[in-house]
Amino acid sequence: MDYYDSQQTNDYMQPEEDWDRDMLLDPAWEKQQRKTFTAWCNSHLRKAGTQIENIEEDFRDGLKLMLLLEVISGERLAKPERGKMRVHKISNVNKALDFIASKGVKLVSIGAEEIVDGNVKMTLGMIWTIILRFAIQDISVEETSAKEGLLLWCQRKTAPYKNVNIQNFHISWKDGLGFCALIHRHRPELIDYGKLRKDDPLTNLNTAFDVAEKYLDIPKMLDAEDIVGTARPDEKAIMTYVSSFYHAFSGAQKAETAANRICKVLAVNQENEQLMEDYEKLASDLLEWIRRTIPWLENRAPENTMQAMQQKLEDFRDYRRLHKPPKVQEKCQLEINFNTLQTKLRLSNRPAFMPSEGKMVSDINNAWGSLEQAEKGYEEWLLNEIRRLERLDHLAEKFRQKASIHESWTDGKEAMLQQKDYETATLSEIKALLKKHEAFESDLAAHQDRVEQIAAIAQELNELDYYDSPSVNARCQKICDQWDNLGALTQKRREALERTEKLLETIDQLYLEYAKRAAPFNNWMEGAMEDLQDTFIVHTIEEIQGLTTAHEQFKATLPDADKERQAILGIHNEVSKIVQTYHVNMAGTNPYTTITPQEINGKWDHVRQLVPRRDQALLEEHTRQQQNERLRKQFGAQANVIGPWIQTKMEEIGRISIEMHGTLEDQLNHLRQYEKSIINYKPKIDQLEGDHQQIQEALIFDNKHTNYTMEHIRVGWEQLLTTIARTINEVENQILTRDAKGISQEQMNEFRASFNHFDRKKTGMMDSEDFRACLISMGYNMGEAEFARIMSIVDPNRLGVVTFQAFIDFMSRETADTDTADQVMASFKILAGDKNYITVDELRRELPPDQAEYCIARMAPYSGPDAVPGALDYMSFSTALYGESDL
């Protein structure tokens, strides 16, 4: 045909300029859509004896909108409201929108109020949705559908025409040649394509529109002037008009069907090669990610501060929440792609795909296992380090408090013990000095426990590898050395006083009694202040209750302590009374102690002030522990439901994969519904993740309300998703095998029954001995060599097991008919006609350029008795499509 230009075939693959426009409705597009959508609606409404004039006005009451849907769907809608009020109009439009939604169409941001209000953008969007659903969605061309299918159909039909390069639904149609080519391809008598010129788009467009309206009953939906005068015609308007051509020419011819079948086989070969490349790349990327991630998880470099460790924990949470889930999906997709590729290769009689060394599915699983092991160890190390640093911070603060109190107490004590005041003192003064020294020794003994506590805390800090241990050790050593010196000085002064004591006869018993009672009481108050100001760390409600109980017991001793304080102050008051009564010159001080009544009262007041503060601190901690307990119970309640649920679902999937009933399509639909129910459970997993994050942020490390950890739930959830995806993939592969091999449902049921009977372990796989028994039961008589050959077919990876997919592949191969060969012969005869061969030119004319060249490169020339130059025979034809097979 002289309208075809073989030199233009290369132009078919050249993409046009890539337009990048916002999805806003500009005036030019609005005008095109108004005219096109109005014409499309009227082409259907005229069947009901009506039409519309203004698209945004005539649909406002919903009556014609409901009528349009009834005409294009062939179904009756709910009875419309005949009232004129706004509520009646909204009701009618809602009925129409509900009907559209019932057809599986998701209406986004389109509401009845906008339609009733005459919103142009929303009305055009609604009509476009209807056109997509009822005019475009069901278009299917070579496994593509809707827009892609329509575009592929246009490309196939216009490929042989010069100056036609359909790459989209806007600028590819501006010159009108695309419309003319579609009409000429199916009705060549209607248009003289040879007289058309690319530089005269108005004539081309008007010619196509007029011919389509007059002879093809396709209403004129576009204006040639609008298309030519617009830089980028409206895609929706073009698609709507082109879909009318598709439906008008939907009857396919036998030659086109045969060519499509050949293209399909060629496309499968190309797709398999692409799948192999995709698997290699995806496997390499995943293994590289695992290789880079494991060293990070194995890094155990400790930090000195809680803030730094908290940051590491937050980084680990980000890894779990953001980085790992996509990789889990990639791993699952990798296995699915691998299984699908192997199935397609088997169906195409191609050798099994063997990935590069180190990139087998088992290699990836091993690497993934190492990743999860490192991840588990890293999390345990993080939590242990946080506990250790928390303990260290508490001990360090406690050490500083006790050391400060002790250093404050010892300040000046060495100088006091080294005084020689007893050498010039009177007898009474000597006795006073002796008693004072006895009180000091009592006080010294009382402080012995604190010194031991300081040393014990320092030792524990060393054992826990505290980062500032050198300064702690230096301070502790200084305190211990000073304490030893105080002991030695105390003993030396006592010996001096005792030598002088023989010369002393009188002593003021009241001062002595005051000193003896004031010193322990003062020490008790200091200990009480220290305890009341001591920081505490608890992890359970029981621990805080124990502290609260101890504090209440302490408060119960306060009345007795107050009596003791008043008694001590009474002694001092009695001394003052005696001094005043007898005019004793005591210089106004107690020679036996430095503890004054003012100091006792000051410390007592301080103790009374610290008690309510301690009450408040314990109350706040009690509230926090109650909140922590609530978090534990909340997490435990959900985990105790989700954990068994996941286990139940895993068991149910295992049973489904073994005990499948009905057709494979029924099984696939059932599994997909099952998968959807599992995916719908994801919000509960996310909610549990949120609760777990709150628990970790609250530094809760144990939970007696459940045996499930978040790690158990995560692993179970990931296994559940992987298992259902793998099971669905197996059924899909079974469908591919069944359809490709022509296996009936009864045969599939028999295969399943035989497989389940000999799957004695109920694992979904037969071992080699079970498989041998199955073959024998089916009448196979074979020796070891023949059985080994069969095993090499059904178990190419030598795993020692036979899956159901491999089983049906083998059984289908044994029972396969010659349908594939007959189809190829029929396709060949259609293309060859009455000849025994086809020419290269015929093949290039009937097939797309890339697939025609792919086929020609693999064919041998026709070698029959009447050989024709450039011709190809049937055997070369079938070999090019299927290789060295049974054909």
Looking at residue 773, its pLDDT comes to: 85
The pLDDT score that the predictor gives to residue 391 is 75
Q: Distance between CA atoms of 639 and 706, rounded to whole angstroms? A: 7
pLDDT digits (tens, 9 = 90+) for 552-561: 888 888 898 8
Query: Does residue 588 contact residue 662 with C-beta atoms inside 8 Å?
Result: no
What pLDDT score does 794 carry? 81
Which pLDDT does position 500 carry in this prediction?
A: 59
CA angle 479, 480, 481 (to 5 degrees): 95
More confident residue, 24 or 87: 87
Region 311-316 average pLDDT: 79
Structure-block tokens of residue 696 = 């970790």
DSSP H or E segment with residue 461: helix 427-463
pLDDT for the residue numbered 274:
82
Residue 764's alpha-carbon distances to 361, 607, 738, 790, in angstroms, are 19, 74, 19, 19
* pLDDT, greater one: 602 or 511: 602
Q: Which two tokens stand for residue 259?
A: 């060519």
**Closest-CA residue to 178 (of 189, 188, 164):** 164
Return d(Cα 194, Cα 725) in angstroms, integer: 55
pLDDT given for residue 259 in this prediction: 61
Q: Which of 296, 300, 308, 476 is nearest to 389 (CA)?
A: 308
What residues have CB less than 8 Å from 337, skipping those under 6 apart? 275, 278, 279, 282
Which tokens go with 535?
Answer: 């920081």
pLDDT digits (tens, 9 = 90+) for 829-843: 677 776 777 887 777
618 vs 12: which has the higher pLDDT: 618
Tokens 């591919």 belong to residue: 736
- On the question of pLDDT at 819 being above 50, the answer is no
Q: How far apart are CA 797 and CA 175, in angstroms?
A: 57
pLDDT in tens, 716-725: 899 888 888 8
Q: Exposed/middle/buried for 733, CB within 10 Å: 0-12, 13-18, 19+?
A: buried
Residue 180 reports pLDDT greater than 90: yes
Q: Which residue has the higher pLDDT, 501 or 186?
A: 186
Mean pLDDT over the full length of the chain: 79
pLDDT of residue 255: 47
> What was the pLDDT predicted at 207?
92
Match 């402080």 to its residue by tokens: 447
The average pLDDT across 486-500 equals 81
* Confidence at 311, pLDDT banded by 50, 70, 90: confident
In this structure, the dihedral spanned by the alpha carbons of residues 424, 428, 431 and 437, taken in order and rounded to 10 degrees, is -70
Judge whether residue 880 has pLDDT over 70. no
Distance CA 523, CA 346 (A): 90
- Is residue 769 within 8 Å of residue 782, measured between CB atoms? no
Lowest mean pLDDT across 374-383, 605-614, 653-662, 744-753: 653-662
CA 501 → CA 420, 431, 491, 493, 505, distances in Å? Answer: 15, 7, 15, 12, 8
* CA 114/CA 33 separation, integer angstroms: 18
pLDDT, residue 167, reads 92
Higher pLDDT among residues 79 and 850, named by residue: 79
Taking the C-alpha atoms of residue 337 and residue 343, their distance in angstroms, rounded to an integer, is 10
Q: Which residues of 528-548 are buried (b: 16+ CB within 10 A; e: fewer)?
A: bbeebeeeeebeebeebeebb
Percent of the chain with pLDDT over 90: 6
Neighbouring CB atoms inside 10 A of 409's CB total 16
d(CA 402, CA 533): 11
Q: Which residue has the tokens 């949470």?
A: 317
The three-class DSSP label of residue 868 is coil
* Mean pLDDT, range 857-878, rounded to an integer: 66
The region of weakest confidence among 108-122, 330-344, 345-359, 582-596 is: 582-596
Does position 96 have pLDDT exceeding 70, yes or no?
Answer: yes
Tokens of 820: 């594939």
| pLDDT at residue 822, rounded to an integer | 52
338 or 189: which carries more pLDDT confidence?
Answer: 189
For the entire predicted model, the pTM comes to: 0.34
**Which of 384, 383, 365 shows the shortest CA–CA distance to 373?**
365
Distance of CA 17 to the CA centre of its chain: 38
- Going from the C-alpha of 512 to that of each of 593, 601, 706, the distances in angstroms are 8, 19, 63
pLDDT of res. 438: 84
Distance CA 121, CA 101 (A): 19
Instruction: Write out 630-654 in H/E/C secondary structure.
Output: HHHHHHHHHHHHHHHHHHHHHHHHH
- Do 465 and 476 contact (CB within 8 A), yes or no? no
pLDDT category, 15, cuts 50, 70, 90? very low
pLDDT band, residue 417 (cuts 50/70/90): confident
The pLDDT of residue 3 is above 50: no
- Residue 225 burial class via C-beta count within 10 angstroms: exposed 0-12, middle 13-18, buried 19 and up: exposed
Instruction: Output the CA angle 619-620-622, nearest 5 degrees.
Output: 60
At 446, list the tokens: 């009382």
Give the H/E segment covering residue 523: helix 509-533
Per-residue pLDDT at 94 exceeds 70: yes
The DSSP element (H or E) to which 403 belongs, if any, is: helix 361-410
Query: If pLDDT is split at 50, 70 and 90, which confidence band does 165 have?
Result: very high
Q: How far apart are the first and last CA of the chain?
A: 34
Instruction: Please compute the mean of the pLDDT values over residues 270-280 and round it to a whole number.
Output: 82
| 302 φ, ψ (degrees, to nearest 5) | -75, 160
pLDDT of residue 210: 92
Indicate the pairing of strand 144-145 with strand 140-141: antiparallel
User: Which pLDDT does position 398 carry in this prediction?
Assistant: 81
Q: How confident is the model at residue 521 (pLDDT cuts 50, 70, 90)?
A: confident
How far apart are alpha carbons 459 and 480 in whole angstroms?
13
Query: Quick check: 740 pLDDT over 50?
Result: yes
| Confidence class for position 588, pLDDT limits 50, 70, 90 | low
Residues 424-454: pLDDT tens digits?
666 677 778 888 888 888 888 888 888 888 8
Q: Which residues contact 546 (CB under 8 A, 6 or more apart)?
A: none
Helical ranges in 585-698 per DSSP H: 597-658, 664-679, 682-697
Helices within 534-596 (DSSP H only)? 541-556, 558-582
The C-alpha angle 230, 232, 236, rounded to 5 degrees, equals 110
The two structure tokens encoding residue 134: 């009822």
Which residue, among 368, 257, 387, has the nearest Cα to 313 in the 3D structure? 387
d(CA 449, CA 624): 33
Q: What is the pLDDT of residue 273?
A: 80
Neighbours of 55 (CB within 10 A): 20
d(CA 860, CA 875): 9
pLDDT confidence of residue 166: 92
Rounded alpha-carbon distances, angstroms, from residue 423 to 430, 496, 501, 512, 819: 9, 10, 12, 21, 129
CA dihedral 873, 859, 260, 824 (to 10 degrees): 50
775 within 8 A of 798, measured Cβ to Cβ:
no
**Strand partners of residue 144:** 141
Give 608: exposed, middle or buried? Use CB within 10 Å, 0-12, 13-18, 19+. exposed
Strand 871-873 versus strand 837-839 pairing type? antiparallel
* 776-817: pLDDT as tens digits: 877 777 788 888 888 888 888 888 888 877 777 777 766 544
Helix (H, G, I), strand (E, B) or coil at 348: coil
Which residue, chain included where needed, has tokens 């993080």? 382
